[in-house]
Amino acid sequence: MTIQWFPGHMTRARRQIEEKLKLIDVVIELLDARIPLSSRNPMIDEILQNKPRLVLLNKNDLADPEVTAQWVAYFAEQGLQALPVDAANGSQMKEIMARCRELMAAKFEAQLRKGIKPRAVRALIVGIPNVGKSTLINRLAGRKIAATGDKPGVTKAQQWIKVGKEMELLDTPGILWPKFEDQQVGMRLAVTGAIKEELLHTDDIALFAVRYLAQHYREALKERYAIEKLPDDMTDTNAVIEVMEAIGRKRGALMSGGRVDLDKAALVILRELRAGKMGRVSLERPDISLVD
């Protein structure tokens, strides 16, 4: 699934999107609602220039609704409309179409005044790998167009897909690189599964996740693993490891001598978190994301 991004790839990805921008009216920027900044391309404003843009906070079914509301406000402050969606479930497709149309309303009205009948809004979806681009394209199209899952960057001739009467979508999304320049961002991307675990150590990723959960979703963590008391100070790595060991014991992640297999425990924790078993969890908050 994961593309190894090198400067050449980034330049090519950027050029491909810039070429597509010439064909379209509106960009749909797809972000992961659990980590809107970490799942964002660092050069996005520069790449998209001033194209009208709708931000979709995808996988909202897995994100904390309160935090997502804060993110919507955060983007609004920057003059961007952000809509929380669940592309896999597909219930908000009409809303997405309406928002794209709205972004073009002024232009279309001006055209109407000149007697030009507005045509369908042409849109392009962009986002980092695994954020749900293909899923969204298929949902908007109402049929299977793009291959979803672990095949990024498969190039083929692009085509317009009709989305209702008033919208057309490019069938190949723009794939952008994430922001992996700092370790916290890398960890968040790894926790959500946006980058491959092997790029970092699984136990480090789980350690990061458990520490975050203990800080922000304490009760959910205790309840999920029937932990009676969590250490107060989770900045101490040993304390986090003890919690991971307790979880490992609960889930039978043991080595032959009966000791906890931390790697296995780490995988269990990540799998359950990604599947939403810990409830709806956001791993980044607008108020603290830049310092935490």
Ligand X SMILES: Nc1nc2c(ncn2[C@@H]2O[C@H](COP(=O)(O)OP(=O)(O)OP(=O)(O)O)[C@@H](O)[C@H]2O)c(=O)[nH]1
- As measured in angstroms, the least distance from the Cβ of 1 to ligand X is 5
Residue 223 tokens read as 């309840």
- As measured in angstroms, the least distance from the Cβ of 277 to ligand X is 12
- Closer to ligand X by CB, 37 or 56: give it: 56
Going by the DSSP 8-state scheme, the letter that residue 60 receives in this structure is G
59 in a known ligand binding site: yes
> Can you give the binding site for ligand X, defined by CB under 6 A?
1, 58-59, 61-62, 86-88, 127, 129-135, 148-149, 151-152, 175
- Closer to ligand X by CB, 86 or 284: give it: 86
Torsional sign, CA 260, 263, 268, 270: positive
CB 181 within 8 A of CB 5: no
- Closer to ligand X by CB, 36 or 127: give it: 127
135 in a known ligand binding site: yes
CB 21 within 8 A of CB 124: yes
91 in a known ligand binding site: no
60 in a known ligand binding site: yes
| R_g of the chain computed on alpha carbons | 21
Place of tokens 């083929």: 156
61 in a known ligand binding site: yes
Helices (H), the chain: 7-21, 44-48, 65-77, 93-103, 105-113, 133-141, 183-192, 202-216, 218-224, 237-250, 262-274
279 in a known ligand binding site: no
- As measured in angstroms, the least distance from the Cβ of 266 to ligand X is 21
- As measured in angstroms, the least distance from the Cβ of 115 to ligand X is 40
What is the four-CA torsion angle of 59, 61, 65, 71, rounded to 10 degrees? Answer: 10
186 in a known ligand binding site: no
- Closer to ligand X by CB, 52 or 132: give it: 132
**How many whole angstroms separate alpha carbon 132 and alpha carbon 141?**
14
- As measured in angstroms, the least distance from the Cβ of 152 to ligand X is 4
Torsional sign, CA 141, 143, 147, 150: positive
Bridge partners, 30 (sequence order):
56
133 in a known ligand binding site: yes
- Closer to ligand X by CB, 260 or 269: give it: 269
- As measured in angstroms, the least distance from the Cβ of 14 to ligand X is 16
Place of tokens 């790697």: 263
- Closer to ligand X by CB, 5 or 108: give it: 5
Per the annotation, binding residues for GTP are 58-61, 130-135, 174
Per the annotation, binding residues are 58-61, 130-135, 174
